[in-house]
Structure 1
Amino acid sequence: MTGDPGGHCLVTGVAGFIGSTLAEHLLANGDTVLGVDCFTDYYPPAVKERNLATLRRSPGFTFREASLLDADLPALLTNVDSVFHFAAQPGVRKSWGTTFATYAAHNVVATQRLLEAARTVPLRRFVYASSSSIYGDAAELPVRETTLPRPISPYGVTKLAGEHLCGLYARSFGIPAVSLRYFTVYGPRQRPDMAFSRFVRAILQDEALPLYGDGEQTRDFTFVADAVRAARSAARADLSPPWGRAYNIGGGSRVSINAIVRLLETMTKKSARIKRLPAQAGDVQHTYADTTAAQAELGYRPEYGLEAGLRAVVDWESALVAGVR
């Protein structure tokens, strides 16, 4: 890892769950941050404004409300040495049907525009937030970066397209791009539609907890603090060409959804009223990351176990339910 002074960073999607947490992590490590977000209506803008509250008080942070689809991106990149591209239209289940055009615009076209603008500046690194969704239902676990990507959702297709664009611009124009394949990131500030948020709120408020499928599907859960450390490590690591490589970023906690519900019941001291629903198109059955490459080349090692991470989520959601956050 390099030990040079802080950098000047652009964080796209800065008002989101991971983007806002990343920006705070960068600032805490001496970087300055230009944050960009267009406040898409996927979930309430008030939630995103809350995510920005601490950042807005930092002298090292500047915010621009803008869409990557029509903003003057070369101007945004002036004096920036590291790009963290975390803006995206999220959600596997909502990416089907007519809404796919929105996913294609925000996840593919916006990525291409940002990469094109990156040709105009000398960047240290272009870090692209990809997703384990690109693998689909892998035949063997844990999945390695060499596993053939076979996404089973339109969302996964758009994230894989973003990776291919990063590789294309890396090979053609020398953009120092790396992609991070995140496995089910969770933690405080996560989107209201994400499973842990919905589960905790349902249990706390004695509401039905919707559970898709039999609950025996498993996920490799990654705590958000580990996810953002991986991003900064990817930007600061002493890497060399060829650019365009991808790294798995997992938390090492592969657990079934049923086991998660049992843990939450223990932590909240309340019983869940489970409502079984059919499995959803696009949901993979199992995920589990081999992070050997990230450990060797980025120095990445997850620090948060599942129980500590879940406790942080329970505390966060409990405060929201109580109206004190």
Structure 2
Amino acid sequence: MRILVTGAAGFIGSHLCERLLQLNNTEVVGIDGFINSSLNETKQRNLRELLLNSRFKFYQTDLREADLARTLDGIDAVYHLAGMPGVRTSWGTDFKEYVSHNISATQTLLEAVREFPVQKFIYISTSSVYGEKVGKVAEESIPNPLSPYGVSKLTAEHLCKVYQISYNIPLVILRYFTVYGPRQRSDMAFHRFIKGILNDETLQIYGDGNQTRDFTFVSDCVEGTVAVLQAEKVIGETINLGGRECASVLQVIKQLEEIIGKKANLEFTRGLKGEPRNTWADISKAQRLLNYNPITTLKKGLNSQINDFINIE
């Protein structure tokens, strides 16, 4: 099987490529546009081991300008992870970048896939499309994003569904819930917390720190994502991939303090616009369709991310 992964040099994309290459008789073609130059060094590190594998081929190119006819020729399945991430930076004039990378680039890829039929087109979305909900959120919950980022991802979901209906593209949508672990981007919370505690820096906490998230360890997330390849009766489905346990920001910091053996210096500031108070995934559909079973405890996952951070430094 030959698989295309967009966003292959990213945090989750690089882990996904590595896991796909562990499968028998798979080849992986990766695309990444390196659209954020500040992450170039990180992305090069993410690719280091992959580039040593003869069954991995990589194109550093903007998806909107790529030679998709050449890239898609012979591809059996597509994982579309590429896009512009981040809630905080999606406001104001920066939103045009989200429209371009999350919506227009997705439409460009869908147009190309029309000409090169695949067995599955897996679009990676986010819990940010749900907005503020109470309790566990099932896929049937009406989306109500709170940020321009969430709007851009939900719009791309609708685009995918339009192409599925009109051109029979075999679509599966996965909604990730707050993924963490080794290689997490430097702007993401756990990376900032670990760096701050180790270096005696002040941690900026948005709001009161009691907001909760369904934290998903990257290897659990990737197992669920890979399972889509062989799963039956998933075409047309939207599926949540969440973690094993929910925790508040302050509970996470307490665990980090215990693991690292140092106290954090906290500075509380105004809460962020566009961030829901709580997220919690109902993963019963993923369990039923993908045999999904997140096994990594928050403590074990944090240990792994800390060790990775130290090794980088």
Q: Distance in 1 between matches of 2:236 and 2:270?
A: 38
Partner of 2:92: 97
> Which shifted more, 104-113 or 299-308?
299-308
- 2:51 alignment partner in structure 1: 56
SS at 2:74 equivalent = coil
Q: Which residue pairs with 1:249 in the alignment?
A: 241
Q: Which SS does the other structure have where 1:255 is aligned? A: strand
For residues 266-313 of structure 1, the C-alpha deviation after alignment (integer angstroms, 9 at most, x for no partner) is 000000000111101111100000011111111111121111111101
Query: Is 1:290 matched with 2:282?
Result: yes
The corresponding residue for 1:10 is 4
Gaps of 5+ in 2: none
TM-superposed CA distance for 1:122, in Å, is 2.5
- Determine which of 39, 43, 49 is the counterpart of 2:38: 43
Aligned residues: 312
Is 1:192 aligned to 2:186, yes or no?
A: yes
Amino acid at match of 2:72: L
1:121 to 2:116 alignment: yes
The answer on whether the counterparts of 1:204 and 1:270 sit within 8 Å (CA) in structure 2 is yes
CA distance in 2, matches of 1:34, 1:78: 11
Q: Deviations over 1:78-106 (max 9, x none)?
A: 01001000101010000000000000110
RMSD: 1.0
Match for residue 228 of structure 1 among 222, 228, 232: 222
Which residue type is aligned with residue 189 of structure 2? A
- Confirm whether residue 181 of structure 1 aligns to residue 181 of structure 2: no
For residues 59-208 of structure 1, the aligned pairs below 5 Å read 59-138=54-133, 140-208=134-202
Q: Match of 1:212, as an amino acid?
A: Y
Aligned AA for 2:286? A
Helix, strand or coil for the counterpart of 1:283? coil
Q: In the alignment, which of 250, 255, 261 is matched to residue 258 of structure 1?
A: 250
Amino acid at match of 1:163: E
Secondary structure at the counterpart of residue 240 of structure 2: strand
1:33 maps to 2:28: yes
Partner of 1:316: 308
Three-state SS of the structure 2 residue aligned to 1:236 is coil
Q: Per-residue CA shift, 1:211-258, capped at 9, x if unaligned?
A: 100000000000100111111111221126xx4321010013110000
CA distance in 1, matches of 2:37, 2:91: 14
**Does 1:272 pair with 2:267?**
no
**CA distance in structure 1 between the aligned counterparts of 2:169 and 2:31, rounded to whole angstroms:** 20
1:93-133 Cα deviation digits (max 9, x unpaired) = 00000000000110001111111111112211111110000
Q: How far 1:315 moved relative to its partner?
A: 0.8
Indicate conservation of the 8 Å contact 1:43/1:191, yes or no: no
Identity of aligned residues (%): 45
TM-score normalized with structure 2 length = 0.98
Distance 2:158 2:32 in 1: 23
Distance 2:10 2:39 in 1: 11
Shift of 1:134: 0.2
| SS state at 1:11 partner | strand
Offset at 1:55?
A: 0.3
Cα distance in 2 for partners of 1:295, 1:172 equals: 29
Residues 35 and 62 in structure 2, CA contact (< 8 A), matched pair in contact too: no
SS at match of 2:131: coil
| Contact 1:93-1:281 at 8 Å conserved across structures | yes
The CA distance in 1 between the partners of 2:151 and 2:307, in whole Å, is: 34
Q: Which amino acid aligns with 2:85?
A: P
Aligned equivalents of 2:126 and 2:229: distance in 1?
18
- How far residue 42 of structure 1 moved from its aligned partner, in angstroms, is 6.0
Q: Give structure 1 stretches of 5+ with no counterpart.
A: 1-6
**2: CA distance, partners of 1:42 / 1:267:** 32
SS of equivalent residue, structure 2 residue 5? strand
Conserved in 2, the CA contact under 8 Å of 1:24 and 1:55? yes
AA matched with 2:101: H
CA distance in 1, matches of 2:6, 2:205: 32
Distance in 2, Cα, partners of 1:43 & 1:150: 31
- The two structures have a TM-score, normalised by structure 1, of 0.94
